[in-house]
Amino acid sequence: MQSHMLTGSGESGNYLKLIEGASAIRRHIDLLHWLQGDVQEVMPHDILLAGWGNFQEGSIRHDIVSRLPGVRSYAVGTDGLPFLMGKFHENWIFSGRQPSSLDFQNFEYILGNASLPGSFTSALRSMRSGMIHGMRDERGQCECLYVLLSSRKIPSNPTSTAMKLLMPVIDSALRQVSQLPQQQKPFPKSLKAGHDEAFGLSDREIQIMDWVAMGKTNSEIGSILNISGFTVKNHMQRIFQKLNVFNRAQAVSKINGVTFNG
């Protein structure tokens, strides 16, 4: 692999070479090989997270491309990825929808102190830097977000420039890859959608219910949100009253529009 492949007089030609290589992508393995090849020279990363859908409502599909063991799109521990992608999306919006660097330690509060299962979560905890960029599909009225994560420092340059230039290529490549079975199902009903009208939950109560739906305890949610477990318990009591339910399972079922028979 040539170092500094996108510097100097051959820069345009090298970008064209990368784009040409992407045109043959049809499978996840093809995308992985492309990303782990010369692309690493300009966009170094260990994990690529892709998310698309309505980030405002939380209706998000995701994909993961990585060679790390156990880091797969729907491996154990990925249930909370849409929520995490929503946080990354907020960071991207704050940056004016431009490529933005992040210190992954700033997002450790999202994972909290919970002992989550699976190699995916372990891999997330080992990441130390990232780069975020996305695209808005005006015709489809949705957004696509891409997050590079690395266990080492990702340099702002040339990574930010490369993400701007190659993002349409990556987006097109992923659209050509056959969907996984989980990605073909209808979007799940969002915990964020319609709460004000349907249930009257506050933003904090919605945030807590996001984590309840992921199976977190009051103590774990408190650690994640930097509040006490007792405060979470008080929120839960108010949530039960608003939803007219008696326990967490009923609350999640009602919010998701599922009739609870227990």
Q: What is the pLDDT of residue 109?
A: 57
Residue among 134, 178, 150, 155 at smallest CA distance from 31: 178
Q: What is the pLDDT of residue 257?
A: 63
Q: Which two tokens stand for residue 150?
A: 């690395």
Q: What is the pLDDT of residue 124?
A: 86
**What is the CATH number assigned to the segment(s) 195-255?**
1.10.10.10
d(CA 61, CA 144): 10
Helices 28-35, 156-176: crossing angle, 10 deg rounding? 160
Q: Are the CB atoms for 232 and 243 separated by under 8 Å? A: no
| Residue-wise pLDDT tens digits, 45-72 | 999 999 998 887 667 889 999 999 889 9
Q: Is the pTM of this model over 0.75?
A: no
Residue 222 burial (CB count, 10 A): 22
The pLDDT confidence band at residue 192, using thresholds 50, 70 and 90, is low
15-179: what fold? Beta-Lactamase (3.30.450)
Helices 218-225, 203-213: crossing angle, 10 deg rounding? 130
d(CA 196, CA 202): 7
Of 34-38, 170-174, 193-197, 229-233, the least confident: 193-197
pLDDT, greater one: 211 or 240: 240
The pLDDT confidence band at residue 180, using thresholds 50, 70 and 90, is confident
Query: Average pLDDT for residues 8-37, to the nearest whole number?
Result: 85
Where do the CATH 3.30.450.80 domains begin and end in the chain? 15-179
Where do the CATH 1.10.10.10 domains begin and end in the chain? 195-255
d(CA 122, CA 119): 5
